[in-house]
Structure 1
Amino acid sequence: MTSTSVFVSGANGFIAQHVVKELLSKGYTVIGSVRSEAKGEELKSLVKNDNFSYEIVASLTEEGAFDEVLKKHPEVTVFLHTASPFSFSVEDVEKDLMKPAINGTLNALNAIKKYGPQIKKVVITASAVANFGFGPHFDAEKVYNEDDWNPITYKESLENSFFGYFGSKKYAELAVHDFMAKETVNFDISFINPPYVFGPQAYVVKDKANLNLSNEVINRVVKLSKDDTIPAEGSVFVDVRDVARAHLVAFENDETVNKRLLTIAGRYTLDTIANIINRYFPSTTVPKGDESRNDEIYKNVHKYDNSRTNKLLGFEYTSLADTIFDTVEQIYNA
Structure 2
Amino acid sequence: MSSSSEPSETVIITGGTGYIGQHIIAELLHQGYKVIAIVRSQPRGMELIKQFHHPNLQIEAVDQLDKPNSIDFVLRQHQEATTFIAGAAVTDFTAKEVEKEIIQKTNAIVENTLESIKHHGKQIKRVILTSSSGTHIGPEKVFSYDAQYGDDDWSPLPYEAGFANAQMAYMVAKKTSEELAWKFVKDHKTNFDLVSINPGMTLGPVQFANEISLDNGGYLPTTTNIIANLLKLKKDDEVAPLAAGAVDVRDVAKAHVSVIKTPKASGQRILVEAYKFTNANAVNILKSHFPQLKDKLPDVEPISESKFVEPNLKRSKEILAFDKYYTLTDSVVGLAKQLLKE
Both proteins in one fold, TM over 0.5:
yes
Instruction: Give the whole-Å Cα distance in 1 for the aligned partners of 2:150 and 2:70.
Output: 33
Instruction: Give the whole-Å Cα distance in 2 for the aligned partners of 1:151 and 1:195.
Output: 17
Contact 1:23–1:248, Cα closer than 8 Å, also in 2: yes
Please tell me whether residue 172 in structure 1 is matched to residue 177 in structure 2: yes
Q: Which aligned pairs between 1:96-245 and structure 2 lie closer than 5 A? A: 96-135=101-140, 143-208=148-213, 209-245=218-254
Q: Which aligned pairs between 1:262-277 and structure 2 lie closer than 5 A? A: 262-277=271-286
Q: Structure 1 residues 250, 295: CA separation in 2 closer, same or farther (over 3 Å shift)?
A: closer
Q: Name 1:332's counterpart in structure 2.
A: 340
Contact 2:38–2:61, Cα closer than 8 Å, also in 1: yes
For structure 1, which runs of at least 5 residues remain unmatched after alignment?
none
Instruction: Give the whole-Å Cα distance in 2 for the aligned partners of 1:19 and 1:295.
Output: 30
Which ranges of 4 or more aligned residues in structure 1 deviate by more than 6 Å? Answer: 136-141
**SS of aligned partner of 2:128:** strand
Instruction: Give the whole-Å Cα distance in 1 for the aligned partners of 2:160 and 2:238.
Output: 37
**SS of aligned partner of 2:199:** coil
Instruction: Give the whole-Å Cα distance in 2 for the aligned partners of 1:230 and 1:78.
Output: 43
Q: Name 1:14's counterpart in structure 2.
A: 19
Please tell me whether residue 313 in structure 1 is matched to residue 320 in structure 2: yes
Contact 1:274–1:287, Cα closer than 8 Å, also in 2: yes
**SS of aligned partner of 2:184:** helix
Q: Name 2:67's counterpart in structure 1.
A: 62
Q: Name 1:257's counterpart in structure 2.
A: 266
Contact 1:66–1:111, Cα closer than 8 Å, also in 2: yes
Q: Deviations over 1:26-61 (max 9, x none)?
A: 111000011001110111111010100100010111
Letter in 2 for 1:267: K
Instruction: Give the whole-Å Cα distance in 1 for the aligned partners of 2:72 and 2:43.
Output: 22
Q: Normalising to structure 2: TM-score of the pair?
A: 0.91
Letter in 2 for 1:104: I
Shift of 1:207: 3.6
Q: Deviations over 1:247-294 (max 9, x none)?
A: 012212111111111000111211111111111111126425423555
Q: Structure 1 residues 49, 292: CA separation in 2 closer, same or farther (over 3 Å shift)?
A: closer
Q: Deviations over 1:200-250 (max 9, x none)?
A: 111233242241221111111111123322222221110000000000122
**SS of aligned partner of 2:37:** strand
Letter in 2 for 1:127: S
Q: Structure 1 residues 166, 217: CA separation in 2 closer, same or farther (over 3 Å shift)?
A: same
Contact 2:126–2:260, Cα closer than 8 Å, also in 1: yes
Please tell me whether residue 291 in structure 1 is matched to residue 301 in structure 2: yes
For structure 2, which runs of at least 5 residues remain unmatched after alignment?
3-7
Q: How many residue pairs get matched? A: 331
Q: Name 1:37's counterpart in structure 2.
A: 42
Instruction: Give the whole-Å Cα distance in 2 for the aligned partners of 1:31 and 1:210.
Output: 25
Shift of 1:158: 2.1
Instruction: Give the whole-Å Cα distance in 2 for the aligned partners of 1:164 and 1:111.
Output: 25
Instruction: Give the whole-Å Cα distance in 1 for the aligned partners of 2:155 and 2:321.
Output: 27
**SS of aligned partner of 1:271:** helix
Instruction: Give the whole-Å Cα distance in 1 for the aligned partners of 2:140 and 2:271.
Output: 20
Segment drifting more, 120-129 vs 309-318: 309-318
Instruction: Give the whole-Å Cα distance in 2 for the aligned partners of 1:136 and 1:278.
Output: 28
Contact 2:143–2:244, Cα closer than 8 Å, also in 1: no
Q: Structure 1 residues 175, 303: CA separation in 2 closer, same or farther (over 3 Å shift)?
A: same
Instruction: Give the whole-Å Cα distance in 2 for the aligned partners of 1:288 and 1:40.
Output: 41
Please tell me whether residue 93 in structure 1 is matched to residue 101 in structure 2: no
Q: Structure 1 residues 292, 41: CA separation in 2 closer, same or farther (over 3 Å shift)?
A: closer
Identity of aligned residues (%): 31
When the two chains are superposed, the root-mean-square deviation of aligned CA atoms in Å is: 2.2
Q: Normalising to structure 1: TM-score of the pair?
A: 0.93
Instruction: Give the whole-Å Cα distance in 2 for the aligned partners of 1:304 and 1:259.
Output: 17
